[in-house]
Structure 1
Amino acid sequence: MQDLSIKFYIILRAIFNNAFRDGVIARNPMEGIQNLSVCHAEPNPFTRAELTALAQTDVRCLSGKNAFQLCALTGLRISELLAISWEDIDFINAKLKVKIALVDKQYKTPKTPGSQRTVELCASAISILTQQKLITGHRKARKISVLQRDNKTKKIENLSLVFYNTQTNQPFLSAKQFNKTFFTPFLISAEVKHRGAGQLRHTFASQALTSGISKEWIARQLGHESTAMIDIHYARWMCADAPDFVNRVEQQFSGIFTQKQPDEYIAADENTSDLKATSSTVATAGIQLSEQQISQLLISHPHLITEYLNRLLSQSVGEKLI
Structure 2
Amino acid sequence: MKLTTKVARLLDATPGVHIHKGRLRIALKVPGRTTPVRKSLGLPPTEANILYAGNKLSAMKIDVQTGNFTADEAAFWHKHLPDDPRYNIVNRTLRDYFNQYRESRKFDLSHSSQRGLETVVALLESHRLLDRDVRDISHRDLEQVRSHALTTRKATTVRLYFTRLRAVIDEAIRDGHLEQSPFVRLRKLRQSSAESDPVAVEPFTQDELTRLQDSCKTEPARQMVGLLFWTGIRPGELKALAWEDVDLEAGTMRIRYSLSRGGHIKPPKTAAGVRTVDLLPPAVAILKRQRELTFMLPARKDEIRLLHNKTRTEPRRRVFLSSNNKPYRDPTLLTTHQAWADLLRRAGLTYREAYQLRHSYASMMLMVGAHPAYLARQMGHADWGMIRKVYAKWVADENPGYRDELARKLGILDPHMTPGETTKSQGVDK
Q: What SS does the aligned partner of 2:259 have? A: strand
Aligned position for 2:316: 159
The answer to whether the 8 A contact 2:212-2:343 is kept is: no
Answering whether residue 283 of structure 2 is matched by residue 125 of structure 1, we say yes
The answer to whether the 8 A contact 2:213-2:225 is kept is: no
Quote the offset at 1:80 in angstroms.
0.5
Paired with 2:393 and 2:335, the residues of 1 have a C-alpha distance of 23
Q: What SS does the aligned partner of 1:205 have? A: helix
1:61-94 C-alpha deviation (Å, 9 max, x unpaired)? 1111111111111111111011101111111221
Output aligned runs, 1:161-310, within 5 Å: 161-166=318-323, 168-176=324-332, 178-180=334-336, 183-235=340-392, 237=394, 242=399, 244-249=401-406, 251-252=408-409
Could you tell me which runs of 5 or more consecutive residues in structure 2 were left unpaired when the two chains were aligned: 1-155, 417-430
Counterpart residue type for residue 30 of structure 1: F
Aligned position for 1:83: 240
Counterpart residue type for residue 184 of structure 1: A
Aligned position for 1:142: 300
Paired with 1:255 and 1:146, the residues of 2 have a C-alpha distance of 55
Paired with 1:255 and 1:103, the residues of 2 have a C-alpha distance of 51
Could you tell me which runs of 5 or more consecutive residues in structure 1 were left unpaired when the two chains were aligned: 260-322
Counterpart residue type for residue 171 of structure 1: P
TM-score by length of 1: 0.66
Paired with 2:346 and 2:396, the residues of 1 have a C-alpha distance of 26
* Greater relative CO (CA pairs within 8 A, separation 6+): 1
Aligned position for 2:110: none
Answer with 1 or 2: which has the greater Rg. 1
* Aligned-residue RMSD, C-alpha: 3.5
Counterpart residue type for residue 143 of structure 1: K
Answering whether residue 143 of structure 2 is matched by residue 8 of structure 1, we say no
Paired with 2:270 and 2:281, the residues of 1 have a C-alpha distance of 28
TM-score by length of 2: 0.51
Paired with 2:177 and 2:328, the residues of 1 have a C-alpha distance of 55
The answer to whether the 8 A contact 1:98-1:117 is kept is: yes
Q: What SS does the aligned partner of 1:97 have? A: strand
Quote the offset at 1:149 in angstroms.
2.8
Aligned position for 2:73: none
Q: Structure 1 residues 8 and 247, CA, compared in 2 at 3 Å: closer, same or farther?
A: closer
Aligned position for 1:66: 223
Paired with 1:97 and 1:253, the residues of 2 have a C-alpha distance of 37
The match for 1:96 among 236, 243, 253 is 253
1:176-203 C-alpha deviation (Å, 9 max, x unpaired)? 3625385433322211122332221222
Counterpart residue type for residue 306 of structure 2: Q
Paired with 1:136 and 1:33, the residues of 2 have a C-alpha distance of 55
Paired with 1:252 and 1:28, the residues of 2 have a C-alpha distance of 57
**Deviation larger for 140-149 or 247-256:** 247-256
Counterpart residue type for residue 197 of structure 1: A
1:182-228 C-alpha deviation (Å, 9 max, x unpaired)? 54333222111223322212222222233332221121111111222
Output aligned runs, 1:43-54, within 5 Å: 43-48=200-205, 51-54=208-211
Aligned position for 1:109: 267
Q: What SS does the aligned partner of 1:31 have? A: helix
The answer to whether the 8 A contact 2:204-2:357 is kept is: no
Counterpart residue type for residue 110 of structure 1: P
The answer to whether the 8 A contact 2:236-2:332 is kept is: no
Q: Structure 1 residues 18 and 164, CA, compared in 2 at 3 Å: closer, same or farther?
A: closer
Identity %: 24
Aligned position for 2:186: 33
Q: What SS does the aligned partner of 1:174 have? A: coil
Quote the offset at 1:148 in angstroms.
0.9
**Deviation larger for 88-97 or 244-253:** 244-253
